[in-house]
Structure 1
Amino acid sequence: MYVGQVMKDVLKLPRPLSPPVVKLETRVDAEYGLPSTHAMAATAISFTVLLSAPSRIQFQFEVGLLIALTLSSLVCLSRLYTGMHSVLDVLCGVLISAAILFFTFPYWEAFDRLQLTSRVSPIAALSLPLLLSYTYPAPPDGFSTTRGDTTTILGAGAGSSVGYWANEQLGRTFEPRRALLPVALPALTPGALARGGARFLVGAAALLATRQAAKTLSLRALHSWHGVPEGDGNARRRREIEVPYKFVTYTAVGLVNSMLVSRVFVLLGIL
């Protein structure tokens, strides 16, 4: 995501013109177009899950491939339908993610072990994304919506990474023993669906509450530190406020997601 977002602000290639394109989404209309980070994310997530799942879950690979192709294709087509990207934007996004997957796939297991076991893992997981957020290329007016979105993504990833590392150190990863892998897919019984729905509701509530609390406290502290009135909405666009408040907020969300939520599921008997 960082690669795609930075490419947008470096290349500065515009989104499709309207008219003739009818734009159904306007929130990010001010951002540049190439590459489509939605296409990048859909490709990366779908095929990362597909390639990493066989060692953990028993399933028919051809069915998984069909699901990955369908989900990523629907996201790519939706970017054309909403008028937010050209065909070139989408194709470049898919190809960039495909290249990243191709070159990194042989090292996934090694990186996973390093991330979960190295003593410097939490330091790197927090410092590197924060540095990338602060050094994000800013436009001439000093504000970019892509910088905020990128910081959000990096913060959530950093918090999750530290949380998974902490779970490993504490000896509680909430996963089956390696000797039992790959596990069979659970049957979609009414009980399983109910537990899944309960996990979704509890997890969403926990993450939303964490986001609100961390956002409020971090903004209050940063406004006080920089001497900015709390009602000044434009202050959030300043790098020295936007980057730390979003990074702290979503790092907290990632930590709660990776550490606290699973423990709550255990307490409630819905894991």
Structure 2
Amino acid sequence: MDRYQYNVPLGVCAAVVWCTLICISRLYLGMHTVLDIIVGLALAMILMVPLVPIVDFLDSYLLTNPISPLLLLVSSILVIVYYPNSGKWTPTRGDTSMILGVCVGIHVGAWLNYQTGLIQPTTKHLAAPYVIMWPSYYMLFRMLLRTIIGFVCVLLTKELFGHLTYHVLCAALGVYVDDLRKSENTLQNKHKTFVELSCKYVYCGMIGFNTLYMLPQLFRALGIERPTFFTEI
């Protein structure tokens, strides 16, 4: 809340509205029950109590520690491996793999930006709270270009790494790709579970990495970068 200069009540209202829309959409799509939503919100609020005060410390630690990518990789894989199940197959484990993959990719990309000197620690005259800059027409045009190029690159990354990972793992396990894809989703189908979770983790990780490391450099080379991107720590 102290990072940018903005109207706090308006920001809180926007956050509440967005959270409500997400919760309603999960119910509407039949992905969760009301009890799931209530428990999820309760857990989120409980976790915010210890996590919010240490966010700045964690940011600094993950950017500066030379082994933080390894720690993130190992811890995220362990979470996927030991993910609890209810005795029947559900898509939630796959969703968790995608979320963890994106988070790890983003953090590794930010870590590499810092380690290579692309982003630097904030100086006193650039310290928070930052002023929110409303975009000009030229900035909106560049934003549109970044969005289009970014979406294309994300889709290409998903197709390339998703296809490559799936085929490599199937070859390593000695199974046919088409047969595995057509097989039933069950807890007993270990090969399909392993391949699909790994595939989602890898391509989502690469999407996160490209978003934080590769795309900003591409935008800079094209002259359409966001000026403050490499100053935000």
> What interval of TM-score do these two structures reach, taking the shorter chain for normalisation?
0.7 to 0.9
* Residue 168 of structure 2: aligned partner: 221
Q: Does structure 1 residue 248 correspond to structure 2 residue 194?
A: no
- The correspondence for 1:257, drawn from 202, 208, 211, is 211
Kept after mapping to 1: 8 A contact 2:114/2:120 = no
- Residue type matched to 2:194 in 1? E
Deviation at 1:76, TM superposition (A): 2.3
Q: TM-score, normalised by structure 2?
A: 0.83
Deviations 1:19-63 (A, max 9, x none): xxxxxxxxxxxxxxxxxxxxxxxxxxxxxxxx3xx22x2222222
Q: TM-score, normalised by structure 1?
A: 0.72
Partners of 2:105 and 2:205 within 8 A in 1: yes
1-structure distance, mates of 2:126, 2:50 = 29
Counterpart Cα distance in 1 of 2:5 and 2:77: 37
Q: CA RMSD in A?
A: 2.3
Separation in 2, partners of 1:268, 1:175 = 25
Per-residue deviation at 1:119? 1.6
Counterparts of 1:136 and 1:78, CA distance in 2: 24
Distance in 2, Cα, partners of 1:83 & 1:231: 29
Deviations 1:211-235 (A, max 9, x none): 1110111111111111111212146
- Residue 239 of structure 1: which of 177, 182, 193 is its match? 193
Deviation string 1:223-248 (CA, Å, 9 cap, x unpaired) is 11111112121469523312222222
How far residue 85 of structure 1 moved from its aligned partner, in angstroms, is 4.3
Aligned to 1:37: none
Q: Deviations over 1:145-199 (max 9, x none)?
A: 1111111111111111111111110111389756313332122332222222111
The unaligned stretches of length 5 or more in structure 2 are 186-191, 226-233
- The 3 A distance-change label for structure 1 pair 175 and 204 is farther
Residue of structure 2 equivalent to 1:179: 125
Q: Which fold has the larger relative contact order, with Cα–Cα distance below 8 Å and residues 6 or more apart in sequence?
A: 2
> CA separation of 1:174/1:64 partners in 2, compared to 1, >3 Å: closer, same or farther?
farther
**Aligned partner of residue 208 in structure 1, secondary structure:** helix
Identity %: 29
**2:71 corresponds to which of 121, 124, 134:** 124
Pick aligned residue for 1:168 from 95, 109, 114: 114
Q: How do 1:134-213 residues align onto structure 2 when only pairs under 5 Å count?
A: 134-138=81-85, 140=87, 143-173=89-119, 179-181=125-127, 182-213=129-160
Matches within 5 A, 1:55-66: 55=3, 57-66=4-13
* 1:77 matched to 2:24: yes
Q: Letter of the aligned partner of 1:248 in structure 2?
A: V
Residue 16 of structure 2 aligns with an amino acid whose one-letter code is: L
